[in-house]
Amino acid sequence: MNSRWKIYTWIVDTILSRQNIMLPFVVQSLVAGVLASFACGLGALPLAIKAFDLRKHTGLAYSAAGGLMFAASVYNLILPGLTIHSAAIQLADAMPVVLGILLGALFLSQVDKYFSPERFEQGNWKRWGNKAQILIFIAMAVHSIPEGVAVGVGYASSAVYENHLGDYIALAIALHNIPEGLAVAIPMRAAGASIWKCFWAAFFTSLPQPIAAVPAAYVSWLFQPLMPILMGFAAGAMIFLVILELIPEALHNSTPIKVAWAFSIGFCAMILVQVLL
């Protein structure tokens, strides 16, 4: 991680430096957020390999994507949200996260209700993909907001304490964005989308990161206390999506035992990739 951190810091500093003068930390957080978004797009590129013909295994693709997203919810959102203030989790630490999870589930429930079969058929939504793919896009975009806030708060801290916290947070988020981009791309690729459409879809789901990073950097004192509830909200939306759309879609196209195995493998793969990166 040390060498990767130095490389990432050098890239960000090279982009942001001009005549050895560093641009404001707000601009740093914006550029770092955009780089993290591109990392999310990179997660779609392995699907360009011909061996990954997901159209023959749609059910497995949806269940594996569900496993990836469920692991991201637990590993990247719920656990950090619970331990953001202290390693010893107290009830006061858990309540904002739990509230956020329920609000996130309620949000996605209302979005799902909005996309009724009649509205979906009559509107222009169909050209963007099926209902599950659109909900994946929305849930992953929501999930990117607290990550962007973390980047902005990190760079604000760097400006005050003259450390590299912002670079370190941005690097960590960029690395874990890669498998999350894969989770976005798998169902789209299984439905026959081109690899470039998968790439840009993954990129745009992560675009809220730089957008959220800028106001968070400006008023970090306001956003920092909101991180647990924001993380819970994003996790709740993703978990609700997995149970509501991805698993039923997977079971519609494959057997329960295959779906269970694909979900478990996707879950474990996300954790292992995060640790290895």
Q: Give the residue, 230 or 192, on which the prediction is more confident.
A: 230
The angle, 0 to 180 degrees and rounded to 10, between the axes of the packed helices 91-114 and 131-161 is 140
* 56-65 average pLDDT score: 82
Distance CA 177, CA 161 (A): 27
Burial 197-213 (b: 16+ CB within 10 A, else e): ebbebbbbbbbbbbbbb
The candidate with the shortest Cα–Cα distance to 84, out of 96, 70, 71, is: 96
Q: Exposed/middle/buried for 238, CB within 10 Å: 0-12, 13-18, 19+? A: buried
Cβ-based neighbours of 77, under 8 Å, separated by 6 or more:
143, 146, 231, 232, 234, 235, 238
For residues 85, 212, 100 and 246, what is the CA-based torsion angle, rounded to 10 degrees?
-120
Tell me the C-alpha distance between 179 and 67, whole Å. 11
Q: What is the mean pLDDT of residues 125-154?
A: 78
What pLDDT is attached to residue 16? Answer: 47
Per-residue pLDDT for 203 more than 50? Answer: yes
- Ranking 75-79, 159-163, 237-241, 250-254 by mean pLDDT, the lowest is 159-163
Please, which pLDDT band fits residue 105 given cuts at 50, 70 and 90?
A: very high
Domain ranges of the chain: 2-117+128-276
> Residue 192 in 3-state DSSP?
coil
Burial of 242 (0-12, 13-18, 19+ CB in 10 A): buried
**In whole angstroms, what is the distance from residue 219 CA to residue 130 CA?**
38
3-state secondary structure of 18: strand
Average pLDDT score over residue span 44-66: 78
pTM of the model: 0.74
Query: What pLDDT is attached to residue 13?
Result: 56
The helix/strand/coil state of 21 is strand
Instruction: State yes or no: pLDDT of 20 exceeds 50.
Output: no
